[in-house]
Structure 1
Amino acid sequence: MKILFIGESWTVHMIHAKGYDTFESTKYEEGATFLIDSLRNRGIEIDYMPSHEVQVRFPDNLEALEQYDSIVISDIGSNTFLLQNKTFYYMERIPNSLELIRQYVENGGGLLMIGGYLSFMGIEGKANYKNTILADVLPVEMLDRDDRVEKPEGVYPETISEHSITKDLEKWPPFLGYNRFSAKEDATTLVQIEGDPLLVIGGYGKGKTAAFASDCAPHWGPLEFMDWEYYQPLWQRILEHIKK
């Protein structure tokens, strides 16, 4: 199985104030390292494309995407796909990356979106996938606004549907938040969290899709989730289900 994993990276620019004086520092971070490493350890081939590389590295043709069994999008907003350097700075017309993903799924590829501050609609609605072509592809109906549900006290998911993905997933670890959406009529909710869908699977064209409402890593996915015995099996099962 070969996966294209996109997103889960960020740069933090800090101003340190020490009395009268200040200085600045910058650090780069990636959030999916634990997940990617755990999948690679099970023999899954993953090409990782950090958020900032989408601007210059995302394929400009369908053939390049079709080498993958599935695509994972995690915590990266739609603007990064739609406002690439050639268009934003040089006004060049280029292929719509999200349209290429739509065609890829329609032809039989798999698509998984994982939750986060820049997934689905995201913080202040900035991820904005509801207003893109991927709204047709994903198995969920997104809100028209900021869709975050913050749960600092912790909230426990509940498995509600029997499926190969949810086998033995009876006792879940807590989560600290998630993106709120509803399942489409032709989709299936496998796991819910306080009555909202957490894991939904569906299809588009010849392909299969999945949406996971919370994070694959901190902060919404706390250490209890990453240490959970079913952490790696959960993601592998989802990817096995949606692959070509």
Structure 2
Amino acid sequence: MKILFIGESWHIHMIHSKGFDSFTSSKYEEGADYLLSCLRQGNIDVDYMPAHIVQTRFPQTAEALACYDAIVISDIGSNTFLLQNRTFYNMDIIPNALQLIADYVAEGGGLLMIGGYLSFTGIEAKANYKNTVLAEVLPVDMLDVDDRVELPQGCKAVNTAVEHVITQPFSEWPPLLGYNKLIAKENSQVLAEINGDPLLVMGTYHKGKVCCFASDCSPHWGSPQFLQWEHYATFWCNVLHTIKK
């Protein structure tokens, strides 16, 4: 099994203020190292594409995506796909990357969107997938406004489909610290809920299978208890094996 994992990276630019003086520093971080390690240990071949690479190297044809059994989009907004460098700086006409993903799923590819500040609608509605072609592909309806639900007190999800291959191995979730508020579409299947809202939702789009996980795979919504959970690796591997083409 081979997947394309997109997102979970960022640059941090800091201002250090010391009285009258200040200086800046920058660093680059990736948030999915542990998850990707778990997937690879589970015999899943992973091509990882950090957020900034999407703007210059995202495949330009559906054929180039066809080698993957599933695509994962995690904490990366729609603008990164739609405003690639060639279009934003050179005004070149290029294929719509999100349309390529939609076409890929329609032909049988799997798609998983993982929650975060720049997933679904996202912080200040900046992820903005509601106004893209993926709104039709995903098995959930997204809000028009900032969809984050912050739970600093922690909240445990509850399985709603206990016999499903993904949720059957465990009966209790570790606490999560937040999620994107979603509305499950009529023909979707909600496998787990958190705080009364969908957490894990399965659906189909033409020939392909699609899954949404409304919380994060890494900090900060992904609590230490979640990352240390004995079922963490098995959970993600089972999700991907369920949606793969």
The TM-score with structure 1 as length reference comes to 0.99
What SS class does the counterpart of residue 105 from structure 1 fall into? helix
The 2-side partners of 1:20 and 1:135 are apart by: 49
Within a 5 Å distance, the mapping from 1:120-131 to structure 2 comes to 120-131=120-131
Letter in 2 for 1:119: S
Within a 5 Å distance, the mapping from 1:188-227 to structure 2 comes to 188-227=189-228
1:5-59 CA distances to partner (integer Å, 9 max, x unpaired)? 0000000000101111111100100011100011111211000000000000100
Q: Does 1:96 align with 2:79?
A: no
> Sequence identity of aligned pairs in percent?
64
The 1-side partners of 2:64 and 2:9 are apart by: 22
Within a 5 Å distance, the mapping from 1:87-236 to structure 2 comes to 87-161=87-161, 162-236=163-237
Structure 1 position 184, deviation (Å): 0.6
Partner residue of 1:45?
A: 45
Structure 1 position 149, deviation (Å): 0.1
The 1-side partners of 2:9 and 2:211 are apart by: 21
What SS class does the counterpart of residue 146 from structure 1 fall into? coil
What SS class does the counterpart of residue 90 from structure 2 fall into? coil
The 2-side partners of 1:99 and 1:188 are apart by: 24
The 1-side partners of 2:42 and 2:133 are apart by: 33
Partner residue of 1:77?
A: 77
Letter in 1 for 2:17: A
CA RMSD after TM alignment: 0.5
After superposing the two structures, state which structure 1 stretch, 101-110 or 154-163, moved more.
Answer: 154-163
Partner residue of 1:6?
A: 6
Partner residue of 1:243?
A: 244
What SS class does the counterpart of residue 10 from structure 1 fall into? strand
The 2-side partners of 1:105 and 1:183 are apart by: 19
What SS class does the counterpart of residue 89 from structure 1 fall into? helix
The TM-score with structure 2 as length reference comes to 0.99
The 1-side partners of 2:91 and 2:183 are apart by: 37
After superposing the two structures, state which structure 1 stretch, 225-234 or 164-173, moved more.
Answer: 164-173
The 1-side partners of 2:199 and 2:159 are apart by: 9
The 1-side partners of 2:110 and 2:145 are apart by: 27
The 2-side partners of 1:42 and 1:199 are apart by: 21
Q: Which runs of 5+ in 2 are unaligned?
A: none
1:161-186 CA distances to partner (integer Å, 9 max, x unpaired)? 12001013211100000000011111
The 1-side partners of 2:174 and 2:165 are apart by: 19
The 2-side partners of 1:85 and 1:188 are apart by: 37
The 2-side partners of 1:96 and 1:143 are apart by: 23
